[in-house]
């Protein structure tokens, strides 16, 4: 639990009957044992932990044996689409095209589920996220949008078990993987979960990112936050913080990305699941100039199970969604940077970690055979992550206006992406 492999999914906290807690959510956010745990519970928690191991081949064979397509970058799927929710209120309120929110509202209003396990910003501590069970359209809308700081959705498992009815569940890949581990052994905590949905997942950040962001604007007390958004307004949106004083701080999402190398959660660097491969339907941003220029949100959608495909087919028929099928090659090309980071970079970073003698996650598969240039590129990236996460680097960046740093970061990132395009796209999708 005190390893860098902990992904903070929250399962051990949720299933421990109060014996494991998160008491440092604004800090390292690690689970802490506060009472002795019996062997039976320990076994249950150990099994549910997706940070140390999650066999992709085993869970693919178990849950997706009938899938029409498989690629080691995307996982199993039926179809891939680019699209958006047709309900403008839902689309505008969401992170990308509002697909996830629209699906949840559809299932709830059709009576196919009774509640949704999802994540909102806390009412008591509006700077932190909290999982809850949404049972109305308004609550699903409240939970929309991406939260880029650590979330621990599976803390809510005891509530899921007690819930009177069927549930849809939304989570990022490490959380979904833990749910799949529990489903495979018919653990009672997940018996009410009927559908799994989730966003793509590049990385997540420590809460220090919010503290540091505030400091650059001269605000030292994060407890004065009344609202925190990561994707506010027109797609792709802004990071926006509202303070008790009435002050509003806002920075373009692409510029706020400068926080990533300074505050990234170590575990996200070892996670190899970019597109939430173990869901029924997963969604990400449709990053391409043709969509980005249009302002309103567009999503990329993977249907992965027959149940997921049926939902999309019905919603298309009822004109609740607009979506066009795209090819696997187009999908991989659109997110070549993300696939490279997760399906190549993560494996190389795991290799580097192994060389230092530290424990490594076991995903039951490996992707390898990259050229020397890709290893060299990873050495630069990994060194950057180490140097930029130091206190000195964080304090230094806080001396500059975030607008300036953000612009600089965006320019440097674009230049870096362009200069490494060949290395990254080499054999992608083949
Ligand atoms: C941490 C993180 C990293 C991401 N990285 C990428 C990326 O690199 N590339 C990319 O294309 N897309 C990425 N996404 C996905 C993207 O930001 C959108 O979430 C996705 O396109 C779905 O959009 P939507 O409009 O359909 O979702 P919405 O309708 O806005 O619904 C989003 C749902 O996800 C839930 N949710 C949001 N944040 C979290 C969280 N941290 N933990 C658990 N549940 C959460 C919400 O509660 C809501 O139910 C990331 C998302 C997150 C949360």
Complete DSSP assignment for 149-187 = B---GGGGHHHHHH-SS-EEEE--HHHHHHHHHHHHTT-
Q: How far is the CA of 308 from the centre of ligand 1 (A)?
A: 18
> Packing angle between helix 346-355 and helix 372-388, nearest 10 degrees?
70
Q: How far is the CA of 291 from the centre of ligand 1 (A)?
A: 18
Q: How far is the CA of 38 from the centre of ligand 1 (A)?
A: 36
CB 263 within 8 A of CB 206: yes
DSSP annotation of 111: T
In 88-128, the DSSP E strands lie at: 115-121
CA atoms within 13 A on the CB side of 362: 6
Nearest CA to ligand 1 atom 36: 146
In 233-355, the DSSP E strands lie at: 238-243, 248-252, 281-285, 299-303, 321-325
Mutation to probe ligand 1, out of 11, 90, 95, 205 (largest number of atoms < 8 A from CB) = 95
147: helix, coil or strand? Answer: coil
Rounded CA-CA distance 31/27 in Å is 12
Q: Give the pocket of ligand 1 (CB within 6 Å).
A: 94-101, 118-119, 143-148, 151, 153, 170-172, 199-202, 204, 283-285, 297, 299, 338
Mutation to probe ligand 1, out of 93, 146, 209 (largest number of atoms < 8 A from CB) = 146
pLDDT at 296: 82
Q: How far is the CA of 288 from the centre of ligand 1 (A)?
A: 17
pLDDT at 403: 87
Output the tens digit of pLDDT for each of the chain's 430 residues: 667 899 999 999 999 999 999 999 999 999 999 999 999 999 999 999 999 999 999 999 999 999 999 999 999 999 999 999 999 999 999 999 999 999 999 999 999 999 999 999 999 999 999 999 999 999 999 999 999 999 999 999 999 999 999 999 999 999 999 999 999 999 999 999 999 999 999 999 999 999 999 999 999 999 999 999 999 998 889 999 999 999 999 999 999 999 999 999 999 999 999 999 999 999 999 987 777 667 789 999 999 999 999 999 999 999 999 999 999 999 999 999 999 999 999 999 999 999 999 999 999 999 999 999 999 999 999 999 999 999 999 999 999 988 889 888 888 888 877 776 766 666 665 4
CB 406 within 8 A of CB 255: yes
**Residues comprising the chain, all counted:** 430
Rounded CA-CA distance 239/249 in Å is 8
Q: How far is the CA of 176 from the centre of ligand 1 (A)?
A: 13
Q: Which atom of ligand 1 is least distant from the CA of 99?
A: 26
User: Which long-range contacts does 216-225 make (Cβ < 8 Å, 24+ apart)?
Assistant: 216/397, 216/398, 216/400, 216/401, 216/402, 216/405, 217/249, 217/402, 219/243, 219/247, 219/249, 222/26, 222/127, 223/125, 223/127, 225/126, 225/127
Q: How far is the CA of 197 from the centre of ligand 1 (A)?
A: 10
Q: How far is the CA of 111 from the centre of ligand 1 (A)?
A: 24
Q: Which atom of ligand 1 is least distant from the CA of 97?
A: 25
Q: What angle do CA 130, 135, 141 make, to 5 degrees?
A: 65
pLDDT at 53: 97
Q: How far is the CA of 63 from the centre of ligand 1 (A)?
A: 23
Cα radius of gyration (the chain): 21
* Nearest residue to 2 (alpha-carbon basis) of 31, 41, 45: 31
Give the helix, strand, coil percentages of the chain, each rounded to 5. Answer: 45, 20, 35
Rounded CA-CA distance 179/157 in Å is 9
Q: Which atom of ligand 1 is least distant from the CA of 102?
A: 29
Number of C-beta neighbours around residue 362 at 10 A: 12
pLDDT at 22: 96
Mutation to probe ligand 1, out of 199, 209, 326 (largest number of atoms < 8 A from CB) = 199
């Amino acid at each position: 639990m005190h390893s860098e492999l902990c992904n903070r999914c929250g399962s051990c906290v949720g299933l421990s009957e109060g014996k494991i807690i998160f008491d440092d959510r604004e800090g390292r956010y690690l689970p802490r044992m506060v009472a002795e745990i019996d062997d039976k519970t320990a076994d249950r928690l150990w099994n549910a932990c997706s940070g140390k191991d999650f066999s992709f081949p085993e869970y693919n064979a178990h849950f997706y044996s009938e899938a029409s397509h498989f690629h080691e970058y995307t996982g199993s799927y039926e179809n891939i689409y680019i699209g958006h929710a047709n309900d403008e209120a839902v689309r505008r309120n969401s992170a990308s095209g509002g697909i996830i929110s629209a699906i949840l509202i559809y299932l709830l209003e059709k009576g196919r589920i009774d509640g949704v396990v999802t994540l909102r910003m806390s009412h008591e501590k509006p700077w932190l996220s909290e999982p809850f069970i949404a049972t109305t359209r308004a609550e699903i809308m409240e939970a929309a949008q991406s939260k880029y700081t650590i979330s621990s959705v599976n803390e809510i498992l005891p509530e899921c078990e007690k819930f009177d009815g069927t549930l849809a569940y939304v989570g990022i890949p490490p959380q979904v993987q833990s749910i799949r581990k529990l489903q495979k052994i018919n653990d009672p905590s997940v018996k009410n979960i009927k559908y799994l949905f989730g966003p793509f997942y590049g990385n997540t950040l420590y809460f220090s990112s919010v503290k540091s962001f505030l400091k650059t604007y001269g605000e030292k007390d994060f407890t004065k936050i009344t609202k925190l958004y990561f994707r506010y307004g027109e797609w792709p949106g802004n990071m926006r913080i509202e303070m008790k004083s009435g002050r509003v701080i806002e920075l373009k999402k692409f510029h706020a990305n400068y926080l990533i190398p300074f505050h990234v959660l170590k575990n996200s660097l070892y996670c190899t699941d970019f597109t939430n491969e173990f869901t029924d339907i997963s969604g990400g941003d449709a990053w391409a100039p043709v969509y980005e220029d249009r302002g309103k949100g567009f999503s990329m959608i993977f249907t992965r199970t027959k149940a997921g495909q049926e939902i999309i087919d019905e919603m298309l028929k009822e004109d609740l969604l607009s979506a066009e099928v795209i090819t696997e090659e187009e999908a991989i090309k659109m997110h070549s940077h993300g696939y490279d980071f997760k399906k190549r970079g993560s494996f190389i970073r795991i290799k580097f970690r192994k060389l230092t003698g530290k424990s490594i996650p076991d995903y039951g598969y490996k992707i390898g055979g990259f050229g020397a240039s890709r290893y060299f590129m990873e050495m630069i990236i990994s060194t950057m992550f180490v140097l930029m996460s130091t206190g000195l680097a964080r304090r230094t960046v806080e001396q500059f206006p975030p607008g300036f740093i953000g612009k600089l970061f965006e320019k440097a990132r674009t230049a870096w992406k362009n200069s490494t395009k060949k290395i990254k796209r080499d054999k992608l999708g083949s």
